[in-house]
Amino acid sequence: MMQGKHRAARGCPVSHKKAAKHMEKLTVITGTNASGKSRLGIKLAKKFGAEIISADSRQIYEGLDLGSGKVTKEEMDGVPHHLLDVAKPNDFYSLVDFQRDAYKAIDETLARGNKAFLVGGTGLYVNAVTDGYNISLQGPSMEKRRELNAKSKEELIGMIREKAPEMLEGLDLMNTQRIERTAERVLAGDTGKRVNVPRYETLVLGVTWPREVLYERIRERLDRRLSQGMIDEVKRLREQGATDEFLYGLGLEYRYILMYLRGEFESFDAFYQKLFMEIRHLAKGQMTWFRKRTDIHWIDMTKNPEAEASALIEEFYQGR
């Protein structure tokens, strides 16, 4: 795993994205599952008078708490958080929705005279804001949704590959809901070829651990969340109307707990081992995604991450 001042590919020097002088500054804290980015973000936000904008594709939904690793009010420690619980289960919430809401939350935070910290591990969400994706504003079409629902996942992936192969980059091919949304954009004429328009000058901090340490942290967190009632959370969501299609499309904890509740595992141990393996696999995938960015400074979590991150943040905001 990449630590300290080591860079992503090509050994680029530590830097932040340069921007025109009129651009406001945004600090980003991202990284893998169970890396401690939320806790570090809160500590740094308290120190620098910042508000946190969540960049997590599941924490946007009400009631998805334990399974998404959503911070509690107590854990927030008085730091304002945005883009948590902004949609209800079964709602359609797209990347366009997230980018719009994130821009609004960031701009309002800056207008209050506070710093804005974007914190989360959904790489597509992070990139959409930091890189300024110029996203197609095509809304969901129910007619196209019905047409796509009649196709298999393999047919949808084939269509995307044929018409807009760039849109497969970073797409979770196990997430049927995301595949269908992407296919809908392709039918609407979106090719995935973007001219990015960055809106902020950004400092991007990455949080992870050596692989074996990270895997142990993943296991500890999974055990803790199961003991806190993560399975009951999924039961409750279903009772309150969350569809199996919605829960399955969320991936990871929600998908495999749903499968467990439907009797698709021969035992709890089989369910547990499969889920643990898939969370580890996601962490590896997150690192692959983040390595594509050459502007990430990877914080050494084995030493004094708060001090290292603070020094970088102080330098970034110097003179502001």
pLDDT of 116 above 60: yes
Higher per-residue confidence, 187 vs 216: 216
Q: What residue type is 136 in one-letter code?
A: S
- The yes-or-no verdict on residue 7 having pLDDT over 50 is no
Q: By the 8 A CB rule, do 93 and 87 touch?
A: yes
pTM here is: 0.83
| Segment 232-253 mean pLDDT | 94
Task: Give yes or no for residue 289 having a pLDDT over 90.
Answer: no
9 pLDDT tier (thresholds 50, 70, 90): very low
Model confidence pLDDT, tens digit, residues 85-109: 999 999 988 888 999 999 999 999 9
